[in-house]
Amino acid sequence: MKTLLITKSNYMACVDPESMNVEDVEYAREAISRIVLIKEDCLVKSGEMEIEAKSGDILITFYDQDFPNRFVVVRSKEWVENLDTYEKLMESYAADDTDCCDAASL
């Protein structure tokens, strides 16, 4: 079975362990505009498209207005765990950086 390897710098390659062939993996992350963790049940609308999203769903929007789906809703425990971890990390950075703009420290 081929293995999709992801390096620390997020480079991806597909490796065939039998032939030892390494192939680049094409990806289109530039197409993604926003990734949002839905905090409460809501109706997501864009033009004629609408989807009911539940708390804990992930909303992914795309830059290209011509895509068949302007946005998608994903239900994934792993995505939620990562987004929660990221949010906590950003909060800790903000808490550590509170005195950067304190007038008394100038």
Distances (CA, A) of 77 to 43, 56, 103: 21, 8, 43
What total of structural domains would you count in the chain? 1
Q: Are 35 and 21 in contact (CB under 8 A)?
A: no
Mean pLDDT of 58-66: 86
Q: What is the largest CA-CA distance in the chain?
A: 64
On the question of pLDDT at 77 being above 70, the answer is: yes
The angle at the Cα of 43, spanning 42 to 47, to the nearest 5 degrees, equals: 150
pLDDT for 47: 81
Model pTM score: 0.62
The structure tokens 């498209």 sit at 49
pLDDT for position 68: 87
The reply to whether 78 falls in a domain is: yes
- 77 domain-assigned: yes
In a domain, 51, yes or no: yes
Structure token pair of residue 60: 């992914």
Domain boundaries, position 90: 29-97
- What tens digit of pLDDT does each residue of 3-38 get? 888 777 777 788 888 888 888 877 766 788 888 889
